[in-house]
């Protein structure tokens, strides 16, 4: 393996540019933006300039499902802390589809894309909206390089229902003081999601943008049941691998 580059950094009067010590590696539509925004509230979390005692972070949700990513990140810095926000793969797939649909209104229906063969109920695993949610398969790739203790799995559901508790886990994992707490959040009835009371660089409360937390199109329950059946064994495997039950039944 090439040398450990973890100590390489570029310095100037505004601090140093460092390789990230922690990366939000996934998953797309899991709640990655919310997590990053909530972490920005923390005074010792910064990106991309880092002063001593601060930590550098980045978010690239496609890493978790990219075959080459674990090896490359390991080579860059084998001590990188990896955060994965996971969400019920069925809801995640619908959320992913909703995003694509918003950019391309002529998209075929969800049910058209999700099945290879509707009558046999065969799921099309080559469709990225499906593939991304097979978390156990992707995790196997990471565990070839990193110990489980290098990874933190954040529940996308709990990030919505109890953001302070989930942020407590994240801050502990990153070795940060628990400074982002209950008092930073309020539930915005109009948005239907938790929002920040005083985000960084602003004195006003702020929710995430329109593209975060948007309505999903109606999808036939029958289609969703079939997709849920498809994911069940992978979900159970994922619970086993992580030692965490995410409750996606
Ligand atoms: P939906 O828009 O489908 O509801 P990502 O940032 O990884 O793309 O994830 C987007 C998802 O984050 C949204 O999907 C939403 O459910 C979720 N989310 C979690 N916390 C949120 C918050 N506080 N405000 C808005 N969306 C939030």
Burial of 156 (0-12, 13-18, 19+ CB in 10 A): buried
pLDDT tens column, 112-168: 999 998 889 999 999 999 999 999 999 999 999 999 999 999 999 999 999 999 999
DSSP string, 40-62: HTSTTEESSEE-TT-EEEEE-TT
Which residue intervals of 51-154 are DSSP H helices? 69-76, 89-103, 110-114, 128-131, 135-143
Does the model's ipTM exceed the 0.90 cut?
Answer: yes
In percent, the amount of the chain with pLDDT more than 90 equals 79
CA-nearest residue, atom 11 of ligand 1: 31
Look over the chain and give the mean of its residue pLDDT values, rounded to a whole number.
Answer: 91
Residue to probe by mutation, ligand 1, list 97, 213, 214, most atoms within 8 Å of CB? 213
Q: Determine the atom of ligand 1 nearest the C-alpha atom of 32.
A: 7
Q: Of residues 58 and 17, which shows the higher confidence score?
A: 58
Residue 26, ligand 1, Cβ within 6 A: no
pTM higher than 0.90: yes
The domains found in the chain, sorted by start residue, are 9-89+128-212+235-242 (3.40.50.300)
């Amino acid at each position: 393996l090439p040398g450990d580059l973890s100590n390489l950094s570029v310095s100037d009067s505004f601090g140093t540019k460092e390789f990230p010590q922690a990366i939000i590696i996934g998953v797309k539509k899991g709640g990655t933006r919310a997590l990053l925004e909530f972490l920005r509230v923390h005074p010792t979390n910064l990106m991309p300039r880092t002063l001593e005692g601060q930590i550098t972070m980045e978010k690239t949700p496609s890493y978790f499902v990219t075959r080459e990513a674990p090896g490359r990140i390991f080579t860059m810095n084998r001590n990188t802390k990896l955060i994965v926000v996971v969400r019920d793969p069925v809801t995640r797939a619908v959320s992913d589809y909703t995003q694509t649909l918003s950019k391309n209104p002529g998209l075929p229906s969800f049910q058209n894309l999700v099945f290879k063969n509707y009558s046999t109920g065969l799921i099309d695993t080559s469709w990225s909206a499906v593939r991304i949610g097979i978390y156990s398969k992707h995790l196997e790739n990471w565990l070839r390089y990193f110990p489980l203790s290098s990874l933190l799995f954040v529940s996308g559901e709990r990030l919505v229902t109890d953001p302070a508790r989930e942020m407590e886990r994240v801050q502990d994992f990153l070795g940060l003081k628990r400074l982002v707490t209950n008092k930073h959040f309020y539930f915005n009835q109009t948005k239907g999601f938790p929002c920040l009371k005083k985000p960084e660089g602003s004195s006003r409360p702020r929710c995430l943008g329109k593209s975060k937390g948007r309505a999903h199109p109606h999808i036939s329950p029958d289609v969703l049941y079939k997709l849920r059946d498809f994911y069940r064994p992978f979900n159970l495997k994922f619970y086993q691998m992580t030692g965490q039950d995410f409750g996606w039944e």
